[in-house]
Structure 1
Amino acid sequence: MEVKSVIEIFEELTKIPHCSGETHAMRRYLVDFAKGCGYEVATDAIGNVAAYHPKSRVTLQSHYDMVCIGAAPDIETVVDDGWMRAKGSSLGADNGMGVAMTLWLMRKGAPVDALFTNDEEIGLVGAGALELAIRTSCLLNLDSEELGKVYIGCAGGEDIHAAKPMAGRAVPEEGAWYRLVATAPGGHSGVNIADGIPNAITELCGAICANDGMEIASLAGGERINAIPRRAEALVWLPEGKEPKGCEALEVTEAEGAPGFVAEGRRVVQALFGFAHGVRAWNRELNLPQNSINLATVEMDTKACRIALSARSMANDELERLVAQTVAGWEACGFTCEREGKYPAWKPEVNAFGDTVLKAYKKVVPGASYAAIHAGLECALFAERFPELKIASIGPTILDPHSDRERVDLASVEKVMAVIEAVVADLSSI
């Protein structure tokens, strides 16, 4: 297997804009590619693409949208010591590498069905509204991100959007205006939530709270609801004679003033600082977070405040409680909350197909094992809708997805590709 060919296909994909919600060009590419390889092709209203082979026994599934951070969708790839990354942006290996591996097999005419789902990164939209048939009894999802793991379980999740009208208040006396900017590494709000990565919104609000008398004219932070915020900034005012303190970790510059500041600005900032972003409970059996919540984005000025949060749990009942508690807390602060994008947890369960995948994996990586992930996989929706479908998930090692530090281990791509080919060959006699 020439992994170079897979990488070449992936690099071709990086040149096609496919940020979540803006995937039309990639969809056309996938349809044309599949037809060019001789596969029967179907699409549905939500933008999913299926390619069928008459002798297929397994469906290879991946999503074709990506989380665009930084300069993306303008992506310039770089390879350093066996790792591929992008200059100043997310790479899109999540889940573009899964798409590329599938296309490489299709180029060879492999007896597989392919299902490319749309807008996974903004609430598993494509999988949730799937109108296309899954014709095989087995589905191999290619959206996992750790070599040597066969995933058979994942977290469920739901997003919360809180909003409240704001009012302005005139500046009462002489003072000075400053712009405060907090930066952090960023990361995936599920995979990286237990890694101790600072939340830029929390850091900024903590610094503001440390300054008595500091008022806020505007505050904004975060980029995507499924990414740990890597930047937050605020325009603030201090009475004459006071200077910002406790802001050593922030970028502080003098700024032009505003007509006034948010009347309840400090109260909202205190609530944001006090909100317990991160892991809420740990699953000792699976050795990963059981429950977590990401304080994802905030926008506040003298007209309105909008806050977005993303909750995850390995159990559906615990997810419901976590979301309900979060809604109750923000409603107590006068916010109106909306819930959206809910998807279920995928309860870990071993089946014959998973055993086949693990057997093939151990021939490539002897220490391969089953695992679960504290992130959403479309497998959960497929398992709920198609209870007889046998599902497993694998993928190459991808670090720090949903950030401009995203990178993929190219050697792991070759190994995972070998596993996929072995699985396809093993199922061909079924």
Structure 2
Amino acid sequence: MSELSQLTPQPLWDIFANICAIPHPSYHEEALATHILQWAQGKGLFAERDQVGNILIRKPATPGYENRRPVAMQAHLDMVPQKNSDTTHNFTQDPIQPWIDGEWVKARGTTLGADNGIGMASALAVLADDSVEHGPLEVLLTMTEETGMEGAFGLQPGWLQSEILINTDSEEEGEIYMGCAGGVDFKTQLPLSRETVPAGYHKVRVALTGLRGGHSGGDIHLGLGNANKLLARFLADFCATLDIRLLDINGGTLRNAIPREAFAILALPREDVDTLRAQARAYLAMIESELAAVEKKTVLDVSDSQHDGQALTKACGDRLIALLHAMPNGVIRMSDDVKGVVETSLNVGVVSMDADKAEIRCLIRSLIDSGKLQVEGMLHALGRLAGATTVAKGSYPGWKPDANSPVMHVVRDTYRQLFNKTPNIQVIHAGLECGLFKKPYPDMDMVSIGPTITGPHSPDEQVHIASVGQYWTLLTALLKAIPIKA
């Protein structure tokens, strides 16, 4: 039995423990989807999947609530697979190992998947708990949200019967979200030329590790260190006077996660190795000072390498380092309309190399289309200067705030009655699927709520136990408070 079985509310925590036990990173959600479908059918509920794999489950209204406006609760099936470098874990085969640490539930060395597993568990718990009073109810679970919102893109009109949608993918108790940023993936590829490492050169591995990482939307304003950018800065500035030859550079694993680690293989004259180590110590001291408020465990290590590949030519290596160093990152502009919210941002998420090309993958987010286009233009221009090819793809719309949303007012009033305080009405810089749902269901009234989750998309992810109870109280009261059909 899971350690989480001692927590309340039940069965939410038991269902979440079962979700953790079934591997479900992006593109590997099939086992979990099959389990949920069979679970729902075993309870006698209508349950089916669409052409892209999304799951729809329907539960009839509680007696006496048949005339309420129909509601869909929505979550996504996949989770972000991130782990510490010293953790052995295969996300496609091994279960997540949740554990209780005081007021929080965490995972052992990996992402927890509370994003969006807690939201999914809450929707399934409503289906399982006949004491929860509600009108006609649907649960929509979408595929592959974290790597491109593929389930939301594939959602067809006419499948859902609901008039209201409650998205469960928010990550701050006490906040109601009524809008979010749109986004677009951006890829830069630089062709490489290689040559034999010069005679007498010594090979080293430079490893920048220990950064916190985080969500490239919800955490982008925190000023966290980006390992790809910090390593490029070291190579461009502190190594500028050394005759280094670059053999390999890589960092980050997902375009929507702030990279925590980055690595480079260098060759340089043997007599300069001690200088490189001294430069690394000086650089580490500098960034520790600059990022003291947000990064406490940064490590920059230089060790010998046995890499047997060719090096980039000097000109090619310098061009790649300059390209990565010059690439913008982080907050581009704050919103004038929504105070305290990021309008446009960029995350330099993944850097990788093979024999003949280097690839940089980014995620651009913005509340406005022109903001996305501005950053796309910057990256296209930078690519032209570097002789790289660039492509933007997978653009998805933001969710435009509606200050007159009826369901938002119901959530706000319900929250006030329950907790005797007013929740914050927010627009989130992270991407939610609601903007995409508006295309097939333009008249659907939407809102997003959730418990407090910190460190999503990183192994530091944790969910606050008490906030899950508050979220459950709000969710169940909200379902009961949904008004009758007009």
Counterpart residue number, 1:322: 375
Residue 30 of structure 1: aligned partner:
36
Q: Point out where structure 1 has 5 or more consecutive residues left out of the alignment.
A: none
> What is the distance in 1 between the residues matched to 2:218 and 2:258?
10
Q: What is the aligned counterpart of 2:479 among 399, 407, 424?
A: 424
| More off after superposition, 158-167 vs 254-263 | 254-263
1:355 aligned counterpart, secondary structure: helix
**Alignment-derived partner of residue 175 in structure 1:** 201
Could you tell me how far 1:2 is from its partner in structure 2? Answer: 4.3
User: 1:353: Cα distance to partner?
Assistant: 1.1
For the pair 1:353 / 2:422, whether they are aligned, the reply is no
Match of 1:305 among 333, 355, 358: 358
Instruction: Look up the match of 2:254.
Output: 224
Q: Where does the alignment leave 5 or more consecutive residues of structure 2 unmatched?
A: 1-6, 62-68, 84-88, 285-299
**Residue from 120, 125, 146 that aligns with 1:99:** 120
Map of 2:328 onto structure 1: 276
Corresponding residue for residue 147 of structure 2: 122
Given the superposition, is the C-alpha separation of residues 341 and 380 from structure 1 closer, same or farther in structure 2, using an over 3 Å criterion? Answer: same
Partner of 2:3: none
CA contact (8 A) 2:176 2:449 kept: yes
Amino acid of the structure 2 residue aligned with 1:356: V
- Tell me, yes or no, if the aligned pair for 1:217 and 1:302 is still in contact at 8 Å: no
* 1:149 counterpart residue number: 175
Distance 2:45 2:104 in 1: 32
Distance, in Å, in 2 between the alignment partners of 1:308 and 1:238 is 28
8 Å CA contact 1:262, 1:302 repeated in 2? no
Pair 1:294-2:321 in alignment: no
8 Å Cα contact 1:262-1:301 kept in structure 2: no
TM-score normalised over the length of structure 2: 0.85
Q: Which amino acid aligns with 2:51?
A: A
Contact 1:180 1:236 in 2 (8 A): yes
Q: Distance in 1 between matches of 2:234 and 2:265?
A: 13
Tell me which of 50, 59, 78 is aligned to 1:53: 59
User: Is contact 1:219–1:301 with CA below 8 Å preserved after alignment?
Assistant: no
- Structure-1 residue corresponding to 2:418: 364
- In structure 2, distance between residues paired with 1:428 and 1:49: 26
The alpha carbon displacement at 1:165 in A equals 2.4
Q: Distance between the aligned counterparts of 1:108 and 1:301, measured in 2? A: 52
Q: CA deviation at 1:407?
A: 0.3
Counterpart residue number, 2:110: 89
- Matched with 1:386 is 441
What secondary structure, in the 3-state scheme, does the structure 2 residue paired with 1:385 have? coil
Q: Which moved more, 1:204-213 or 1:176-185?
A: 204-213
1:284-333: CA deviation from partner (whole Å, max 9, x where unpaired): 43311111000010112442111101000011222122223212222331
- Report if the CA contact (8 A) 2:244-2:267 is conserved: yes
1:158, 1:339 within 8 Å by CA — same for their partners in 2? yes
1:246 aligns with 2:252: no
CA drift at 1:257: 4.4
Matched, 1:197 2:227: no
Q: Is the counterpart of residue 403 in structure 1 residue 458 in structure 2?
A: yes
SS across alignment from 2:74? strand
Q: Which amino acid aligns with 1:300?
A: M
Moved more, 15-24 or 319-328: 319-328
Match 1:65 to one of 75, 78, 83: 78
Whether the aligned pair in 2 keeps the contact of 1:286 and 1:371 (CA below 8 Å) is no
Farther off after superposition, 216-225 or 171-180: 171-180
- Pairing partner for 1:338 from 383, 391, 401: 391
Q: Is the 8 A contact 1:364 1:415 kept in 2?
A: no
- Residue pair 2:190, 2:359 contacting (<8 A) in 1 also: yes
- 1:262 corresponding residue in structure 2: 312
Write the letter of the residue equivalent to 1:362: R
Q: Which amino acid aligns with 2:221?
A: A
Give SS of 2:438's match.
helix
What code does the residue aligned with 1:254 have? Answer: D
* Structure 1 contact 37–106 (Cα < 8 Å) conserved: no
Contact 1:62 1:142 in 2 (8 A): yes
The 2-side partners of 1:105 and 1:291 are apart by: 36
After superposition, the CA RMSD in angstroms is: 1.7
Deviation (angstroms), 1:148: 0.6
1:374 Cα deviation after fit: 0.4
Q: TM-score with structure 1 length normalisation?
A: 0.96
Distance in 2 of aligned mates of 1:349 and 1:94? 25
CA 1:137 to 1:203, structure 2 compared with 1: closer, same or farther past 3 Å? Answer: same
Distance 1:363 1:375 in 2: 29
Given that 2:179 and 2:400 are in contact with CA atoms closer than 8 Å, whether structure 1 keeps it comes out as: yes
**Does 2:215 match 1:165?**
no
Partner SS, residue 98 of structure 1 = helix
2:247 alignment partner, SS class = strand
Once the two structures are superposed, residues 362-392 of structure 1 have per-residue CA deviations (whole angstroms, 9 ceiling, x without a partner) of 2234131210100100011112332210000
Moved more, 380-389 or 215-224: 380-389
Instruction: Name the aligned partner's letter for residue 123 of structure 1.
Output: G
Shift of 1:151: 0.2
